[in-house]
Amino acid sequence: MIGNLRGIVDEVCSDHIILNVNDVGYIVYLSAKTLSACSIGSRVKLLIDTYANSRENVTQLYGFISKEEQQCLRLLVKVSGVSYKTAMSILSKLTPEQLFLAIINEDKLALKTRAEALDHVLLYGPPGLGKTTLAQIVSKELRVSFRATSGPLLSKAGDLAAVLTTLNAKDVLFIDEIHRLNRSIEEVLYTAMEDFCLDILVGEGPSTRTLRIDLPPFTLIGATTRLGLLSAPLRDRFGIPLHLEFYSFEELVDIIKRGARVLCAEIEKDAVQEIACRARGTPRIALRLLRRIRDFVEVKDDKKITCEIAGSALSKLGIDKMGLNKLDMDYLRFLFNTSGPVGIDTISIALSEDVGNIEETVEPYLIKVSFVKRTPRGRVLTDQAREYLSINSVVC
């Protein structure tokens, strides 16, 4: 089995490339989206799925740039009548996020005839990308009730039972920060998700007995910023896993424009783009910055948010041109002034910040913009980050 291939693109065809790996050419089939990212002479690393085509008596390789695209293909080929070729064609037209919404919309029609609840959904990715909002949209699209809670609030089996027993058939239960559920609560959740029943221990000592409570079919939507902290048994019970990625510049522009309309704030096009550039690909941050700039404008008694005002306000808030704040810069400076890879615990102590906060809010964006690399020995600053720090004269 081949897990991944790294090499140079020798040839780009309509649905595949020839990848040169140590002078051996591999034919790798790609989706149109991945294919567009490959050019002759470029060096790429692809995740690989192997398919034995018995009809043509050949083994075919299918490549993916992202784990999410690979997971989507594996979900698609499980559907009766969907071949690898058909699945790749679907992925050429839909992003993993669009495919997820298509599954939801398709399931809405199927569920009406099957009288079943939607399969359980797991949303994971950096904070501020709209996991809670997406869960509410799913509930609204299915026209069912929405119940929300969070992992830290469910400290005892009784807390979980109190929530589950109030659900009606096909309701959506949303658990935010599901990775913070303790293991005993997770185990109670297993049977609730799989068999729609609840096993509760009643009594103590020799008189202990198990009470089984039947539950109506429901949909659990879990949200987490730290997928690795979920136990494998719980993770595997989610039929629709979806990774949310940072938003594109164009998507953030649309979100900021809508936010300005909601706030009844007049804003110039250049100002919208300025905020989008500094929003770190995160809608929550974009809207927060917009509100602070709106406050700044009102204090100045101006009528419109201009690019100059937006830039000035963001600078006063300590947000630089790339959206980096003081904590980000402290993180980068510490790595710059430390020789060799640095462990996360050392960084946490140096910055007086919680490890979880660094891993969830600081590192994802710095890794995305190629400023930091995670290695087995620790965190390493890239040459791109060193150049950025030097240009901006922030190294001390």
The active-site residue, picked from 34, 49, 107, 131, is: 131
Burial of 113 (0-12, 13-18, 19+ CB in 10 A): exposed
Crossing angle for the helix pair 157-164 and 183-194, nearest 10 degrees?
30
Q: Are 235 and 222 in contact (CB under 8 A)?
A: no
The active-site residue, picked from 85, 119, 132, 346, is: 132
Q: 199 catalytic, yes or no?
A: no
**CB contact set of 88 (below 8 Å; sequence gap of 6+):** 15, 29, 30, 31, 62, 73
- Nearest CA to 394 out of 313, 336, 352 is that of 336
Q: 113 catalytic, yes or no?
A: no
Q: 191 catalytic, yes or no?
A: no
Give 247's DSSP letter.
P
Six token digits for residue 226: 């730290």
Q: 176 catalytic, yes or no?
A: yes
Q: 131 catalytic, yes or no?
A: yes
CA distance 87 to 96: 12
CA distance 225 to 361: 9
The active-site residue, picked from 49, 107, 171, 176, is: 176
Six token digits for residue 198: 């609840």
The active-site residue, picked from 108, 257, 284, 368, is: 284
Question: Helices (DSSP H) in 167-248: which residue ranges?
Answer: 183-194, 232-236
Active site residues per annotation? 131-132, 176, 225, 284
